[in-house]
Amino acid sequence: MTPLQRYIAEEIATDHVDGLLSRREALRRLGLLGIGTAAATALIAACSENKQPISDAPVTSSEPATASAPPPGSENALPTEPITWAGPRGELQAAWAPAAEPRGGVLVIHENKGLNDYIRSVAGRFAGIGYSALAIDLLSAQGGTGTFADPAEATAALGQIPPEEAVANLKSGIDELQRRVPGKKIAAVGFCMGGGYVWRLLASDEPRLAAAVPFYGPTPDNPDFAGSKDVAVLGIYAAQDQRVNATEPVARAALEKAGLVFELVTEPDANHAFFNDTGERYNAAAAADAWRRVQEWFTKYVA
């Protein structure tokens, strides 16, 4: 099992432990990753044992996903349109949200569910504050996220993609952004698995990013960010997200070693995926604070 597949598997197991998936559904999704019942049962047990009780905050946010307040940035969000271009291994798909007068460009990297309406909305929100956004579909070679009727199958397919192939496609996304917003600085923002890919971009000797914002993204093993020396990194974590938080010291050490400008922020009383307003862990207060911090970061390092 690759590190990415294990990350996805642990996320599924943790969702079951947190009561977001039934045991039957968790076993089905783990099966799609090629994990047998015995191994899946052991993984769920391990995630349950490793989960520490939190006495001062609920596991899920008190703010439901259907909260009356609109998600941050949505009031000025612009529509997206589907685009394609020639990538390194074939046609790539994305949702494109052009700002009227772009201050910069943003590569948006989706969660392990693929390019869905939530990620399209995030791209539109960035365009609404002046940053033309390209939300790439890492399942382009498989026909795109929309070809998967079962979101769990899309997740399993993402786990099969070699990380070096995904990073090459992300670099092609930066190429496309530079073509569409010539002369402007470029940032990368990713969520969950996409946050992990932001870290991988930084470790791939990618010199073209002015800013990078990984949201609760797992740090790869032994990263070297020296090749991305001009990027300013805003890492966003959630206090209850023990699994990803365990990789934060690795990120911090690598950032310090590379001499990068960075800030690592942990949102209190928030859990993994707290920014996703369509999910059960959405936390309106944490999402609003993170959105404010991202805007301030972009104003300082991108615009």
pLDDT at 197 > cutoff 80: yes
**What are φ and ψ of residue 199, in 5° steps?**
-60, -40
Note the pLDDT of residue 56: 37
Q: Give the distance, in angstroms, between the CA of residue 23 and the centroid of all CA atoms in the same chain.
A: 25
* Mean pLDDT of all residues in 75-103: 97
Helical residues (DSSP H) of the chain, grouped into ranges: 3-17, 23-32, 37-50, 117-128, 151-160, 163-180, 193-202, 242-245, 248-258, 284-301
Residues in the chain: 303
pLDDT above 70 covers a percentage of the chain that reads: 94
And the tokens for 66? 């259907």
Alpha carbon distance 302, 99 (integer Å): 14
Note the pLDDT of residue 229: 86
Could you please report the per-residue DSSP string of 227-255? GGTT-EEEEEEETT-HHHHTTHHHHHHHH
State the pLDDT confidence band at 50, using cuts at 50, 70 and 90. confident
CA dihedral sign of residues 116, 15, 217, 141: negative
pLDDT at 3 > cutoff 90: no
pLDDT at 66 > cutoff 90: no
Note the pLDDT of residue 256: 98
Residues 137 and 92: beta-carbon distance below 8 Å: yes
Residue-wise pLDDT tens digits, 106-127? 999 999 999 999 999 999 999 9
pLDDT at 49 > cutoff 90: no
Note the pLDDT of residue 68: 61
Picking from 117, 201, 205, 196, the residue whose alpha carbon sits closest to that of residue 158 is 196
Amino acid found at 283: N
Alpha carbon distance 202, 225 (integer Å): 5
Note the pLDDT of residue 52: 59
Mean residue pLDDT of the chain comes to: 93
Residues 95 and 80: beta-carbon distance below 8 Å: yes
Picking from 170, 177, 105, the residue whose alpha carbon sits closest to that of residue 137 is 170
Residue-wise pLDDT tens digits, 93-104? 999 999 999 999
Note the pLDDT of residue 69: 82
Alpha carbon distance 238, 218 (integer Å): 12
* Mean pLDDT of all residues in 72-90: 97
Whole-prediction pTM: 0.93
Note the pLDDT of residue 61: 37
* Mean pLDDT of all residues in 64-71: 63
Note the pLDDT of residue 63: 41
Residue-wise pLDDT tens digits, 212-224? 999 999 999 999 9
Residues 275 and 294: beta-carbon distance below 8 Å: no
pLDDT at 44 > cutoff 60: yes
Residue-wise pLDDT tens digits, 144-188? 999 999 999 999 999 999 999 999 999 999 999 999 999 999 999
Gap between the terminal Cα atoms of the chain: 41
Strand-strand pairing, 90-97 and 232-238? unpaired
